[in-house]
Amino acid sequence: MRAGLESIQELYVICLKDLHAIERDSIQLLDRLLHAAGDVKLQRLIATHLHQTLEHGPQLADLLEQVESKPEGGGCASGRILLEEAGRVADGSSSGPTQDAAIMAALQRIEHFEIAGYRFVRALARHLRLDDAVEVIGTLLDEELDTSEILASLIERPLPLNDADLPLRRPWGYIK
């Protein structure tokens, strides 16, 4: 996002373009995370969200067209950094529960970023009285919220600890 905006509609367009960029770039990332994940429930969640994400870009492009704009020129540094960090997790050489936990954390950060973006852009659509857009954005937001909620439940599951984790469990405390 950039400073010096003239109108709410201009802000709305820039926010939609930024969301379009992160959704577009998430497709390849989700595919990589799907291959890196080992847990079946996590794989299923990523596959479902990949399927949803494929639809998000065209829907955002439609919303931009309604206000006579196009997706080109979108994308913000904060979104790019989140995707890059998740990409590094996908490229990690480890596997198993620790790798899965790292994937969940990286993905959850992206989901929270998208949720914040969709909530904000929906509020702008309400201000602009774009009723159809409010509805479409609400549907996209719900899919991100569902993904985030399932991720949260997977993150909260107990993780199996291996020998390298055992010193941290000693009751007498700090390990040098």
Can you tell me the distance from the alpha carbon of 106 to that of 38, in angstroms, rounded to the nearest whole number? 15
**Toward Fe ion, which CB reaches closer, 35 or 127?**
35
Site string for Fe ion, 127-166 (x = CB under 5 A): -----------------x----------------------
Which uninterrupted H or E stretch holds 117? helix 97-127
Torsion sign over Cα 14, 15, 20, 26: positive
Amino acid, single-letter form, for residue 76: C
**Toward Fe ion, which CB reaches closer, 134 or 141?**
141
**Toward Fe ion, which CB reaches closer, 25 or 114?**
114
Q: With contacts defined by CB under 5 A, how many residues of the chain interact with Fe ion? A: 2
Torsion on CA atoms 19, 111, 105, 47, rounded to nearest 10: -100
Q: How far is the CB of 130 from Fe ion (least distance, A)?
A: 22
**Toward Fe ion, which CB reaches closer, 100 or 114?**
114
Applying CB under 5 A, which part among 13-21, 74-82, 114-122, 148-156 lies near Fe ion? 114-122
What residues contact 175, with CB distance under 8 A and at least 6 apart?
167, 168
**Toward Fe ion, which CB reaches closer, 100 or 144?**
144
Furthest CA-CA distance within the chain: 65
Q: How far is the CB of 4 from Fe ion (least distance, A)?
A: 29
Identify the DSSP state of 169: G
Amino acid, single-letter form, for residue 87: G
Q: How far is the CB of 80 from Fe ion (least distance, A)?
A: 15
Structure tokens at 88: 């590094």
Do 12 and 121 form a contact (C-beta atoms < 8 A)? yes
**Toward Fe ion, which CB reaches closer, 84 or 165?**
84
CA nearest neighbour of 64 among 4, 137, 2: 137
Applying CB under 5 A, which part among 13-21, 29-37, 86-94, 107-115 lies near Fe ion? 107-115
Applying CB under 5 A, which part among 1-9, 29-37, 108-116, 123-131 lies near Fe ion? 108-116
Contact residues: Fe ion, CB under 5 A = 114, 144
